[in-house]
A and B are shown apart, each in its own frame.
Chain A
Amino acid sequence: MRSAFTFIFILICPAVFGQEITVTDQNTGTPIEGVAFMFQPINGGYSGHVISDNQGHVNLKAVDFPIVIKTQHVGYQSFSDTLKVSKDYVIKLVPKNVQLDDFIVTGQFNPQSAEQSVFTVKVIDQEEIKARGAVNLSEALSNTLNIRSSQDLAIGSSGISMQGISGQNVKILLDGIPLVNRNGNGNAADLSQINLNNIERIEIVEGPMAVNYGANALAGVINLISFKDAENTTEISVGLQEETVGSEFGTGEGKHIQSIDVKQQIANQWFGQIGVLHNDFKGFQGNQIGRPKEWNPKEQYQANALIRFSPKNHSIYYRFDFLDETINGLGKSNNNYLPSGENQPFAIDEKYLTQRAIHHVQAEGKLPFLSRYNAFASYSDFERVKSKLSKNLVTGEERLTTADGDQDVSTYKVWEFGGTGYLAFSDKLDLQTGYNLSFEKVGGGRIQEGEQEINDIAIYGSLEWKMVDNILVRPGLRLATNSTFGTQLIPSVQIKKSFDGNADLRLSYGRGYRAPSVRELYFEFVDSNHRIYGNENLNPEFSHHFSSNFTKSYEVGNAKSEAGINLFYNTIDDQIGIAQSASDATATTYVNIDKYKTLGLGVNQKMEWAKLSTSIGISYVGRYNRLDDDQQGDLDEFFYTPELNGNVQYDWTTIGTKINVFYKYTGALRNYIFSENTAGEQEVIIGEVEGYHWLDLTLSKTFFTHFDMILGARNLLDIQRINNSGVSGGTHSGGASVPVSYGRSYFIKLNYNLKLK
């Protein structure tokens, strides 16, 4: 049977044989044995890896060119390339083990290494996610430069800003498709609701990726790439993580996480994966007394499943993701005396139940008329039920409360369809064209008529043109039409110039836009002091983004080094703000009135020796001061915030342990505020949200072959709240401190990994 197959195969694809790939040392020319040689056909066919033999030969059977290849060897630098046709190749590897870059896909025509990308892509790979003991995205990004996080204690959410631009403009994707949350289709996400148990790596692109990914990515894109394959026939992973919450730990305290993940090659061309995670955060009592907690308890279940079918020239998969989250906020006890004088205290408790289900079908491969295609359809269904209950603390009786807004169901349903085709005209010119359809249906208590719809249709195209050998130019254009604000034309252009000696210069210009949110379009909130309405006539916020990036790799003694310098500038026009309604002076509404700018400068440096690798980065981000424009004459236009990060990893081979240190300094965030001086007059002063240092330390070790263990300490410097003097007086001030964390915590993670060939 097998021979019959082989025979047919030979008949169909005679060209696949006859080629030989040899891996040699660049300096000595000697063949290298034991190089892991990974390959992935661009058309989506069978991918895998082989090991070079003692001749340095790699034997690729029945592989359909063109392929993307990547090598890995402890003693040599990783190398990746696209081999377009089947012929003999000699691959020369640079000695020493540095910079194992993975393939990246975000915005790329073909999967390739980050070095080859025309724009800058940061990767947080599996190794780093593991080394951090990161369970959710918020933890994984905790020391990334140009990203600043914020915590909301009441609803337990974690938001971010990027390049000094708010989270509404940071788009979070799961395998290229926006990850829906309560406030947006990908943007304004709650990072604590994004668990990483089935995520292979995180790709971060700063700057608008509007041509490929549409609206709401002015600041950038964070693309989570899930596992879709396994190296073995069966892989089972069982994980257990126990974590203190500050100094609190116990069965009713602390954080308890369990996970199971199974990957299986089911049959020829079929692969399946299934995983579940239970993340039980018991909350943090902190300084609160009695029932309430400083951080509300949060319990999450996450499940995912994937089935992939890979016939020749194609790969198609269905992926299902499910999240169930419960947040229980217990209120404080309020005395309530009955006429008899008896006390029956009560409390107002809040409960948030969130469910998110994502169905996602994606196909990629090769068609007679396309070098490569990719098409997807997805349906995401998000629902959050907020309930408020009054509880009699003597009788235990509970009832739903009836005040305006106490009970609410927010829903966000999105259908997305998209496709991309790639055509390689020649070695010098590649074309990508695509379409995207998005239908959003959003519901909730304070949305006019309870539910509203937004539809968006877009086509886009871009070219990668190798003008000369070392200059790659990528112009792109997106034409989008939206049911609420009409048609937009979005251009971008990126240029990469390579210099001799491993140096690259990247320049990027992109136009970005943020679509008005459903809230901004259709909000409705009226009480004794507020009459706020959405504005259906809003236009998108538009930005121009400019950035440049220069990187150079070099050697210092026996250390591999890479240095980089980045500059960016964003300017946003027509930013949506609240303003007095033109038609009704007693009402306020959302209007395109504000402008905003950010600019930044960053440098980073990596050094890698055999066992020790280090990196350090500094960035300086300027945020525009709106008062400069509005009211006062001689105020500074920008407030600058420094950020500094550093990572150290030491591979202590003699005891088989890796030691990781992650550090970040997040500088003070300043703004102008109004304050009452000692004479009782209001004056403009500078307020600030204090800066803080963040330090994590982890040790990881593999033992008994199948077990991994990570011991870690998060937030070693025990930061809980930082002072905020940047609050003007009035009834809506948030308070004099900003929560950062519940303090220093320790964790142990134990993983059992079974791999069957």
Chain B
Amino acid sequence: MTNSKYTLKLILALVAIGFLNACDGEDDQPKVDPAVSSAIIDAEVGGADQPNQVFIDFSSKTQTVVNRASWDLGFYTGSEFRVILNNPSSMLTQAIDKNDLAQVTAEDTVGMGAQMDIDAIFGSLFGAPAEWLPQAQTWMDQPDGSLEGTAIAEISATADQNKVYIINRGKNADGTARGWMKARFLREGSGYKMQYAEINATTFSELQINKDSDYNFNYVNFNQGLVNVEPEKAKWDICFTVFTNLLPIDATSKIPYAYKDFVIQNRTNVEIAEVAVADFAYEDFTYTNSTDLSYSSDLATIGSNWRIVAQPGSDKETGANPDLFYVVKDSDDNYYKLKFTRMLDPISGERGYPQIQYDLLVQ
């Protein structure tokens, strides 16, 4: 019986302690990485809607910020005659079988509104399989950046062979539609001539675009004509942007799908290699280590690999991927190690506030 009373008192005491020992929001102070002498850039992507493309130049430690809806088309300045679409705005286009802009009417675009639109393409996944879906990937420029993969065919020297393109200008950062246009591209001397108008217009405008080889592309906005977007090609290395990529959805189809927090690289003379932290610590990585890596000139080498986005039900947490860093070789053969330190704003927690840390690898 004494035992029994003792046990009872013990239970009661433990129960009381248990109930009272409720709140303990203990938060062990984590180990804090020390201050660094690396270059630090807070890329001004512009927050949740990610309105900006941010071109970063490592050697001058500068960023060039451009609204991603400020342009429509880029005209290649190299030897080929190629036109790219505004991928960050999810612009899509297809040719129609006419080569006179004035002859194009709304009838030529029947049905396109429900197909050639990034949201409509995504929406069509939920329902009877759409026959046109396999074509959707041809309405955008191939995401690897190859000139052969542009949605607009190479501009022919024979004017009659250049067809009219119906263009969905995609979306603004706030999600509103940028509208539709029709356009036709011709060679003009060593440059380009663009004919363009709104879909229902019976007349059209013309714009002359010369090739300025200091840049990868010369840019045009349908409303403003020639505009400045990308810095000179020797003056940037990587670019933060919203990026319309190809997402595989079934055995035959990939669809255009917009990725946020995407990083592309300069197509001219910039090459990038990915390094696993498991192989090298960022701090210990030196120039000597950089020679064995395999470098890629795919626009999307970094792509979305640098970040993790939480999925419902998983225990992954949104943020920079701590397991990777990169080595960037720029157009002057400088080697930089590059690490993404964060993806979110440290106070608001919103996406669109990435920060990078990089160091020149001394040769």
Contacts and interface: CB of A to CB of B under 8 A. Distances in A.
Interface string A670-700: 0000101000011110000000000000000
Interface stretch (A364-372, A563-571, A729-737): A729-737
A346 interface: yes
Given A280-B18, A333-B30, A390-B347, A294 B315 contact: yes
Interface string A401-420: 11110100000000000000
Interface string B292-305: 00000000000000
A707 B4 contact: yes
Contacts of A333: 30, 32
Nearest to A259: B15
B14 A258 contact: yes
Interface in B3-24: 3-4, 7-8, 11-12, 14-15, 18-19, 21-22, 24
A153 B257 CA distance: 28
Given A337-B36, A730-B249, A734-B313, A401 B22 contact: no
B349 A401 contact: yes
A450 interface: no
Contacts of B30: 290-291, 333, 345, 393
Contacts of B191: none
A403 B313 contact: no
B113 A674 contact: no
Nearest to A580: B123
B5 to A, nearest CB: 9
Contact of B311 (A258, A346, A734, A752): A734
Contacts of A401: 347-350
Nearest to B14: A240
B190 interface: no
Nearest to A750: B11
Contacts of B314: 153-154, 734-735
B11 A335 contact: no
A278 B19 contact: yes
Most B CB within 10 A of own CB, among A529, A531, A706: A529
B36 A631 contact: no
Contacts of B249: 674, 730
Contact of A402 (B26, B175, B252, B350): B350
A731 B247 contact: yes
B251 A335 contact: no
Given A330-B27, A348-B344, A578-B126, A730 B317 contact: no
Interface in B70-108: none
B126 A403 contact: no
Contact of B22 (A278, A290, A343, A731): A278
A403 B48 contact: yes
B40 A258 contact: no
A577 B126 contact: yes
A332 B319 contact: yes
A238 interface: yes
Nearest to A260: B15
Contacts of B224: none
B29 interface: yes
A733 B242 contact: no
A625 to B, nearest CB: 15
A704 B4 contact: yes
A343 B35 contact: yes
Interface string A318-348: 0000000000101111111101111111101
B189 interface: no
Interface stretch (B114-122, B146-154, B193-201, B267-275): B114-122
A336 B320 CA distance: 11
Contacts of A579: 126-127
Given A585-B113, A729-B248, A334 B348 contact: no
A59 interface: no
Nearest to B33: A343
Most B CB within 10 A of own CB, among A337, A343, A530: A337
Nearest to B251: A682
Contacts of A343: 32-36
Interface in B36-60: 36-38, 40, 48-50
B4 A730 contact: no
A705 B175 CA distance: 71
Contacts of A630: 128-129
B221 interface: no
Interface stretch (A134-142, A498-506, A586-594): A586-594
Contacts of A267: none
Contacts of B115: 585
Interface string B316-337: 1111101000000000000000
Interface string B138-167: 000000000000000000000000000000
Contacts of B345: 390
Contacts of B48: 403-404
Interface string A710-734: 0000000000000000000111111
B349 A394 contact: no
B211 interface: no
Given A339-B40, A585-B117, A730-B249, A154 B313 contact: yes
In the complex, which range does the number of interface residues on chain B fall in? 35 or more
A340 B38 CA distance: 10
Interface string A631-643: 1000000000000
B182 interface: no
A299 interface: yes
B184 interface: no
Contact of B342 (A239, A334, A587, A588): A334
Contact of B242 (A332, A388, A528, A585): A528
A585 B248 contact: no
A392 interface: yes
Interface string A448-488: 00000000000000000000000000000000000000000
Nearest to A681: B251
B67 interface: no
Contacts of A280: 18, 21-22
Nearest to B19: A278
A252 interface: yes
A588 B126 contact: yes
A580 B127 contact: yes
Interface string A341-359: 1111110100000000000
A593 B318 contact: no
A81 interface: no
B248 A403 contact: no
B32 to A, nearest CB: 6
A256 interface: yes
Contacts of A399: 347-348
B36 A682 contact: no
B308 to A, nearest CB: 10
A393 B21 CA distance: 25
B259 to A, nearest CB: 8
Contacts of A337: 35-36, 38, 40, 341, 355, 357
Given A260-B15, A401-B350, A705-B4, A684 B344 contact: no
Nearest to B352: A403
B119 A735 contact: no
Contacts of B309: 731
Contact of B33 (A339, A345, A588, A752): A345
A345 B311 contact: no
List the 10 closest A-B pairs by CB distance, nearest first.
A401-B349, A586-B119, A258-B18, A585-B114, A580-B123, A585-B120, A704-B4, A346-B346, A258-B15, A682-B251
17 contacts: A154-B315, A240-B18, A280-B21, A330-B27, A336-B346, A341-B37, A343-B35, A528-B242, A577-B126, A578-B126, A581-B123, A586-B117, A586-B119, A704-B7, A705-B4, A734-B311, A734-B314
Given A258-B18, A278-B18, A682-B250, 4 more contacts: A238-B12, A394-B32, A403-B351, A529-B122
Interface of B: 1, 3-4, 7-8, 11-12, 14-15, 18-19, 21-22, 24-38, 40, 48-50, 113-115, 117, 119-120, 122-129, 171, 175, 242, 247-253, 257-260, 309-320, 322, 341-351, 355, 357
